[in-house]
Amino acid sequence: MNDVPVPGPVPRFDIAEWRELGIVAGVTGRGPDLPPFDLGLAGSSTPVGTVIDHWRALHSSMPGFSAVVVSRHVHGTEVRWQDPSTGLVIQEGADGHATNRAGVLLAVTLADCVPVYVVDPIARLAALLHAGWRGTAAGILARGVGVLSAHGASVDRLLIHCGVGICGRCYEVGSEVFAACGVDPPAEGKGRLDLRGVLARQARELGVSHVSTSQWCSAHDRQEFFSHRGSGGADGRMVGYLGFSV
């Protein structure tokens, strides 16, 4: 699967192959202008008013969606079920959202963590997960698959895409992170971890066979995306999004 640029005033990269399935999915980018298209809810890199204007622009660029739902993340495993709503809905304490409602655009904020898109295109069920190493280690992917399965999804129909996040070449971590993610730590203690590879392995262990990974890295493709590591903690946030339009 490829995340491809979408022409228009909002910098976006859509999962092209899913469009024909009626699925709107992808991630926002930095954009070519200054200030960049920052969607960070903390407002630490860009004034809050500008961030809210960016959220409004994102919503306006998505015809067929009455609501955009996002949460302030805590690097946990809560995947919250979303019913119909309107406008920009900002919640607290969840790292994933799921729905079977057309017109509800699920969103997660990102700056190296991996957006994981989980869809049953037949049952019209979707979950979007925010997966840093802590969430990955704690099983947020299994939680998301479980929520969809409880609402009628079939694992053998699921499509999973591990989206734009930091790649294995750019993600150096300590042995404790390797161990938490079920990967043998390097002998020297530190090493480079392919977090999207860990998530893809977890997906296959759950019985999902249709698994893909983005070609982009938030760190070494920082001209297009935001990266916490690449900026030394100074960068803003992009947004992964997923939904079925009306």
| Reported confidence tier of residue 225, pLDDT bands at 50, 70, 90 | very high
Residue 143: the pLDDT is 98
pTM reported for the whole predicted model: 0.97
Single-letter amino acid, residue 10: V
**Which secondary structure element, helix H or strand E, spans residue 201, and what is its range?**
helix 195-205
Q: Find, among 107, 112, 111, 83, the residue nearest to 95 by Cα.
A: 107
Spatial CA neighbour of 135 closest among 113, 119, 166: 113
| Tokens of residue 21, six digits | 């399935």
151 φ, ψ (degrees, to nearest 5): -105, 10
User: For residue range 166-214, what is the model confidence (pLDDT) as tens digits?
Assistant: 999 999 999 999 999 999 999 888 999 999 999 999 999 999 999 999 9
Q: What is the predicted pLDDT for the residue at 114? A: 98
What's the confidence (pLDDT) of residue 1? 76
Domains and CATH numbers, the chain: 3-244 (3.60.140.10)
Q: Which residue has the tokens 């020297």?
A: 188
